[in-house]
């Protein structure tokens, strides 16, 4: 893989292009989780298109100006977080600005690989130094680096405080910057704050009847019985990240195990999640009688959610994470079609009652430190991040990107489904996985069996931490 060093200019603060309201804004109870007090990362690769005279001479100047204009609409992002009584966070809309770094790298877009797939080489050179990414109070809420490449293309790397926005919110802001960089007078989707829709006036009394989807989360808070998980006890430097690519041929093979047994076909997310949960559980060597959990982080926006309508333009955290629980023996001995049904039922459990229960549960636990629940596989469908919808600049084409690291900065459990092209140029899914090194070898062997592969070389791209 290519190796390079980016030449960075000094960071600058970019403030809103025009005066904005000076006020204090409340976060939702979903935003105000201690687990979200960190900076999440998104990266996008852009290829210059058109003739030599098409587009600006310096994309950084255009993007900087568009960022300042975008902050007029997203003015809370230009503020700072403050901690109030009982540790609750609020946003002071001070217009102090966000951090912006211009950098240059002596590489071309094609040097990152064709097709463009994670792990991206020298990804740390494409992101500005965010310092302690778990410290969010009193700091810029967005840190952006634009790295210009030798071919005229560029890479946009974002660190954004997760307390302010989720991945969908970051993409919405990126789309706004792209639109304004192309000369739009205003965003096509205006941002909406309305954090009260995911807040509750809650008592300090414990929840006695949680929604069934959240009982495993509350049960996992009994830390004394949860200390035997190798995922929790293995140091990060003894773990490895791998990315598994599933193209049409691999999906057809997996579909053959469930074809004719389901009332409606399994989605790629349902099928891959079912298979990978089983393979991961076997690879980690849990005991047959131990409970294992599947936690699905779901975006509550969209037509599927008829229960709590998230308004168009809402950029706060709007994700819900129902949890399924089985014993190792139940999971690994049942037919694959039954595991797919578990995944599907877990997704469908996110009803209005479930969402209200989650808000209540999170609000009641805000003062209680929550560790990762043991023996849990947490998975997110983030294929929309790399879809590039709305990210076309006219003079620059979005060609790939997404979440550049496996899991997030506060958890070892996260696994993301992202869209990509495989070696044959076919639409495919790439799934990240973080495991202890010995478990990763067992995991790859299990996956190769399901895919009828003699080895794992055609499905895995490995990246040592």
Which residues contact residue 360 at a Cβ distance below 8 angstroms, ignoring those fewer than 6 apart? 200, 202, 207
Do 410 and 417 touch, CB atoms closer than 8 A? Answer: no
Residue of 159, 162, 319, 417 marked catalytic: 162
By the 10 Å C-beta count (0-12 exposed, 13-18 middle, 19+ buried), 308 is classed as middle
Tokens of 305: 């959610």
- Alpha carbon 312 to chain centroid distance? 20
Torsion angle of the four alpha carbons 170, 176, 180, 182, in this order, in degrees rounded to the nearest 10: 90
The Cα 424–Cα 297 span in angstroms is 30
Strand-pair category, 239-246 with 376-381: unpaired
Q: What is the DSSP letter of 259?
A: T
* 162 labelled catalytic: yes
| CB-based contacts of 208, cutoff 8 Å, min separation 6 | none
Could you tell me which of 378, 395, 335 has the C-alpha nearest to residue 63?
A: 395
Where in the sequence numbering do the catalytic residues fall?
162
């Amino acid at each position: 893989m290519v190796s390079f060093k980016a030449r960075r200019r000094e960071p600058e603060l970019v403030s809103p292009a025009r005066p904005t309201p000076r006020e204090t804004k409340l976060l939702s109870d979903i935003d105000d989780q201690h687990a979200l007090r960190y900076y999440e990362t998104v990266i996008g690769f852009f290829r210059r298109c058109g003739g030599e005279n098409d587009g600006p001479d310096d994309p950084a100047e255009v993007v900087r100006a568009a960022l300042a204009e975008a902050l007029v609409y997203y003015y809370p992002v230009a503020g700072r977080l403050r901690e109030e009584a009982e540790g609750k966070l609020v946003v002071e809309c001070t217009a102090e600005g966000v951090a912006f770094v211009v950098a240059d790298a002596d590489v071309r877009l094609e040097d990152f690989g064709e097709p463009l797939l994670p792990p991206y080489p020298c990804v740390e050179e494409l992101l500005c130094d965010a310092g302690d990414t778990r410290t969010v109070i009193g700091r810029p809420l967005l840190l952006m680096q634009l790295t210009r490449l030798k071919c005229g293309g560029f890479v946009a790397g974002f660190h954004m405080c997760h307390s302010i926005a989720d991945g969908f919110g970051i993409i919405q802001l990126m789309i706004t910057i792209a639109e304004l960089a192309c000369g739009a007078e205003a965003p096509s989707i205006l941002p909406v704050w309305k954090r009260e829709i995911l807040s509750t006036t809650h008592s300090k009394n414990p929840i006695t009847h949680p929604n069934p989807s959240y009982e495993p989360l509350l049960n996992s808070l009994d830390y004394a019985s949860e200390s035997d998980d190798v995922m929790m006890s293995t140091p990060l430097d003894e773990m490895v990240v791998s990315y598994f690519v599933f193209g049409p041929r691999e999906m057809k093979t997996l579909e053959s195990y469930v074809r004719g047994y389901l009332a409606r076909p399994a989605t790629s997310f349902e099928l891959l999640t079912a298979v990978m949960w089983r393979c991961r559980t076997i690879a980690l060597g849990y005991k047959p009688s131990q409970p294992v959990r599947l936690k699905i982080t779901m975006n509550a926006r969209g037509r599927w959610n008829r229960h709590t309508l998230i308004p168009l333009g809402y950029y706060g955290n709007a994700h819900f994470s129902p949890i399924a629980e089985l014993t190792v023996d139940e999971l690994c001995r049942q037919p694959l079609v039954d595991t797919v049904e578990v995944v599907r039922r877990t997704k469908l459990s996110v009803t209005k009652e479930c969402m209200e229960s989650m808000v209540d549960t999170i609000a009641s636990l805000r003062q209680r430190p929550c560790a990762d629940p043991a023996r849990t596989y947490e998975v997110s469908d983030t294929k929309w991040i790399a879809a590039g919808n709305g990210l076309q600049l006219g003079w620059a084409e979005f060609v790939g990107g997404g979440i550049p690291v496996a899991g997030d900065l506060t958890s070892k459990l996260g696994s993301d489904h992202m869209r990509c092209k495989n070696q044959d140029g076919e639409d495919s899914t790439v799934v990240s996985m973080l495991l202890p090194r010995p478990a990763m070898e067992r995991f790859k062997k299990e996956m190769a069996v399901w895919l009828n592969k003699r080895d794992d070389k055609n499905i895995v791209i490995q990246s040592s931490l």
